[in-house]
């Protein structure tokens, strides 16, 4: 194929990230078809037209169904609030379009399952926006584990925190409702951590968890005396048992003052440990129990061209990749999957397991019982 037409729904943080990625992926990698930025959708219409001009799309519209039906659009990118993910994705799949969806897939696990089923029936390719999976440093961690650098894996420990809901006087928004957002910190942040944990260790078999809502109500607006209930969780923690028997501990909070984009994990093996901190996303730390005890210690591995595909962006180590670069790598993975007629990573299938885990954490948090992930 010579080119692929892109339709983008949403112009917020992730919408702009998608526009930048699809606009630059061929320049960075060179081995994918040309992308045509065809249609951008937002409301109202003048906003869509303005962002279409800014982002370089051929036209704007305030009707997402118009975008999905456009024959020039081959890939539909969905970067909207959570509650409309399912309807938009199902319509795009039914129209024979490939779908690039920001997480979570849907508000409920049943809806996510129906999306996966339809994708299988249509043969369309799908990918979900777990961009941290595409960090060259993370990919190197996977390689180290696969190569046995730290021996047999025995334990995973991970945390993902931000402080965007730490202020109790922050105004109430749709993110506080189950009808609009679904899960709270689990749907926003925890799913990212689960994607990393399963990519490093394997699928999760069962878990037991606790969840908490830190701020039970929020003001309807700045300075408002009227407050509305927060329906979903601010904090969640779980003890995991992976299918291969490895034990894990995960925790997530959207009310952690001082944390901006903190995803930290440790993978413990019989011969060493790997640690990572997303706020220092170009570094990986490796400990190996080799050599004299007096010389054993953590080694910091700085990302560079030796950690593909870092070198596609910059030819020298230490010059750093950023958040938006991870989306370019994600888009490259998707375009290669389309032209090679294979599943992208993570497709709806992998993403469904991530969501099964976070919904199991939510269920366990409510009931206090251990939950089998496969039964969710």
Return the pLDDT at 224. 79
Q: Give the integer Cα–Cα distance in Å for 234 and 253.
A: 6
Query: Within the chain, where are the H helices?
Result: 13-29, 45-55, 64-69, 85-94, 109-122, 136-146, 185, 191-200, 310-313, 323-340, 348-367
**Can you tell me whether residue 127 is helix, strand or coil?**
strand
Domain with CATH 3.30.360.10 in the chain: 135-316+346-372
Q: Write out pLDDT tens, residues 108-150.
A: 999 999 999 999 999 999 999 999 999 999 999 999 999 999 9
Q: Give the integer Cα–Cα distance in Å for 164 and 185.
A: 10
Q: Inform me whether the pLDDT recorded for 353 exceeds 80.
A: yes
> Cα 257 vs. chain centroid, distance in angstroms?
22
Q: Give the integer Cα–Cα distance in Å for 372 and 207.
A: 7
Q: Give the integer Cα–Cα distance in Å for 130 and 103.
A: 7
- The average confidence (pLDDT) of the chain is 97
**135-316+346-372: what fold?**
Dihydrodipicolinate Reductase; domain 2 (3.30.360)
Longest dimension (CA), the chain: 67
Give the pLDDT mean for 93-100: 98
Q: Inform me whether the pLDDT recorded for 375 exceeds 90.
A: no
Return the pLDDT at 142. 98
Token pair of 33, please?
A: 């078809």
Q: Which of 177, 239, 236, 174 is nearest to 205 (CA)?
A: 239
Q: Which of 149, 108, 98, 140 is nearest to 340 (CA)?
A: 98
Which segment of 3-17, 27-41, 211-225, 333-347 scores lowest on mean pLDDT?
A: 211-225
Return the pLDDT at 225. 87
Domain with CATH 3.40.50.720 in the chain: 3-131
Give the pLDDT mean for 36-49: 98
Torsion of Cα atoms, 89 then 94 then 95 then 98, to 10°: 50
Q: Give the integer Cα–Cα distance in Å for 320 and 34.
A: 26
Q: What is the DSSP letter of 205?
A: E
Residue 272 vs residues 151, 196, 212: alpha-carbon distances, Å: 7, 19, 34
Give the residue carrying structure tokens 């003052």: 257
Q: Inform me whether the pLDDT recorded for 222 exceeds 90.
A: no
Token pair of 286, please?
A: 């490796």
Residue 368 pLDDT level (bands cut at 50, 70, 90): very high
Residue 305 pLDDT level (bands cut at 50, 70, 90): very high
| Phi, psi angle pair for 77, to nearest 5° | -100, 125
Sheet holding 262-269, edge to edge: 299-302, 283-288, 272-277, 262-269, 153-161, 247-253, 235-242, 204-212, 371-372
Return the pLDDT at 351. 97
Q: Give the integer Cα–Cα distance in Å for 252 and 162.
A: 8
Prior bond to 104 cis, omega within 30? Answer: yes
Pick the CATH number of 3-131 from 3.30.360.10, 1.20.1630.10, 3.40.30.10, 3.40.50.720: 3.40.50.720
Residue 374 pLDDT level (bands cut at 50, 70, 90): confident
Token pair of 52, please?
A: 């279409």
Residue 223 pLDDT level (bands cut at 50, 70, 90): confident
pTM: predicted TM-score of the whole model, two decimal places:
0.95
Q: Are 136 and 307 in contact (CB under 8 A)?
A: yes
Q: What is the DSSP letter of 355?
A: H
Q: Which of 64, 94, 60 is nearest to 78 (CA)?
A: 64
Q: Write out pLDDT tens, residues 168-179.
A: 999 999 999 999
């Amino acid at each position: 194929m010579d080119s692929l037409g892109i339709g983008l729904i949403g112009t917020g943080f992730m919408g702009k990230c998608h526009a930048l990625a699809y606009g630059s992926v061929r320049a960075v990698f060179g081995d994918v078809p040309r992308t045509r930025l065809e249609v951008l959708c937002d409301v109202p219409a003048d906003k869509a037209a303005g962002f279409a001009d800014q982002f370089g799309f051929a036209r704007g519209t305030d009707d997402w169904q118009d975008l999905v039906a456009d024959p020039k659009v081959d890939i539909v990118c969905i970067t909207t609030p959570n509650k409309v993910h399912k309807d938009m994705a199902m319509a795009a799949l039914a129209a024979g379009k490939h779908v690039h969806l920001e997480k979570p897939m849907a508000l409920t696990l049943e809806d996510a399952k129906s999306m996966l089923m339809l994708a299988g029936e249509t043969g369309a390719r799908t990918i979900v926006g777990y961009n941290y999976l595409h960090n060259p440093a993370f990919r190197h961690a996977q390689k180290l584990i696969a190569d046995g650098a730290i021996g047999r894996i025995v334990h995973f420990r991970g945390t993902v925190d931000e402080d965007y809901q730490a202020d109790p006087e922050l105004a109430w928004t749709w993110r506080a409702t189950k009808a609009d957002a679904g899960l709270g910190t689990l749907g926003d942040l925890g799913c990212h951590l689960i994607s990393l944990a399963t990519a490093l260790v394997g699928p999760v078999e069962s878990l037991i968890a606790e969840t908490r809502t830190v701020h039970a109500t929020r003001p309807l607006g700045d300075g408002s005396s009227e407050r509305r209930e927060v329906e979903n969780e601010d904090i969640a923690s779980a003890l995991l048992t992976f299918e291969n028997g490895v034990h894990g501990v995960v925790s997530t909070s959207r009310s952690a003052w001082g944390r901006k984009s903190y995803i930290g994990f440790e993978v413990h093996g019989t011969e060493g440990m790997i640690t990572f901190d997303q706020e220092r996303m170009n570094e990986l730390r490796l400990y190996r129990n080799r050599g004299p005890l007096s010389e054993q210690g953590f080694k910091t591995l700085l990302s560079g061209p030796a950690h593909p595909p870092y070198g596609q962006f910059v030819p020298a180590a230490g010059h750093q990749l950023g958040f938006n670069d991870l989306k370019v790598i994600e888009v490259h993975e998707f375009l290669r999957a389309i032209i090679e007629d294979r599943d992208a990573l993570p497709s709806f299938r992998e993403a469904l397991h991530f969501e099964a885990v976070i919904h199991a954490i939510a269920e366990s948090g409510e009931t206090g019982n251990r939950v089998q992930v496969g039964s969710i």
